[in-house]
Structure 1
Amino acid sequence: MYKYLTALCVLTLPALAEDPTIDSVKAVQTGSGWRFDVTISHPDTGWDHYADGWDVRTTDGTSLGLRVLHHPHVNEQPFTRSISGIDIPAGIDRVMIYSRCNETGWSDDGTEVILTE
């Protein structure tokens, strides 16, 4: 009887969620600020677990622009989304991109992007 109880306990453990992975970033300076094209991979399963955003931040953690992802991308992996008009303060030559999952929150590790004109 106890072996069945153990099996049931194992079956009810939650699956380990993965952070979204930033595969690539393209940053281009335009007349109205910077444009960031970010390609993300994530094992989206549907509305219960999906990559739901990414953020452009200075190296000290100040947010410069949040890109909200409004729906799962179960059948579109990896996927690229953009944000434009990001104002980069003078003297900033690099930023960090952080991804977010609706289940696990913000990723601990960002992706560094060197800004070139």
Structure 2
Amino acid sequence: MKYSFLFALITGPALADSPVIENVTVSGDRFSVTLAHPDTGWDHYADAWEVLDADGNSLGIRELLHPHVTEQPFTRALSGVIIPQGATVVYVRARCNVDGWSDDLFEVVLGN
């Protein structure tokens, strides 16, 4: 019987993939982020990405208002991101409407 329990744990439901940031470009106060996620429709899709400073403070959030089932990866932009004076790096993370914010941070080294 204990083997049946172990088998059930091994074959339990798999967690969905987190959104993956593939690329970020910065031009002035505009961030363009390319991300991929196995969107299935309104029930499960990447629904936002966020720019964070080195201390984890939010500098801006780009809400994604619909699934991108047939457009993967996809790029969306956010303007008006104010980078703190002297910052040399920021991070971007993505979110899906089922699993929440990804633990993975995409590092963006800022130019001079």
Displacement of 1:59? 1.4
| 2:36 equivalent to 1:37 | no
- Give the alignment's TM-score, normalised by structure 1: 0.83
Distance in 2, Cα, partners of 1:51 & 1:14: 20
| 2:96 equivalent to 1:97 | no
- Give the alignment's TM-score, normalised by structure 2: 0.87
Distance in 2, Cα, partners of 1:107 & 1:64: 17
Partner residue in 2 for 1:84: 79
> How many pairs does the alignment contain?
104
Distance in 1, Cα, partners of 2:55 & 2:99: 22
| 2:50 equivalent to 1:51 | no
Query: The residue matched to 2:84 in structure 1 has which SS?
Result: coil
Structure 2 counterpart of 1:22, one-letter code: I
Between the aligned residues of both structures, percent identity stands at 56
Partner residue in 1 for 2:109: 114
Consecutive unaligned residues of structure 1, counting only runs of 5 or more, are 1-8
Alignment RMSD: 1.7
Alignment deviations for residues 36-90 of structure 1 (CA, whole Å, 9 cap, x no partner): 0000011000011100000000011000000000100000000000000111110
Displacement of 1:15? 4.2
Partner residue in 2 for 1:3: none
Partner residue in 1 for 2:5: none
Q: Which has the larger radius of gyration?
A: 1
| 2:22 equivalent to 1:27 | no
Higher strand share: 1
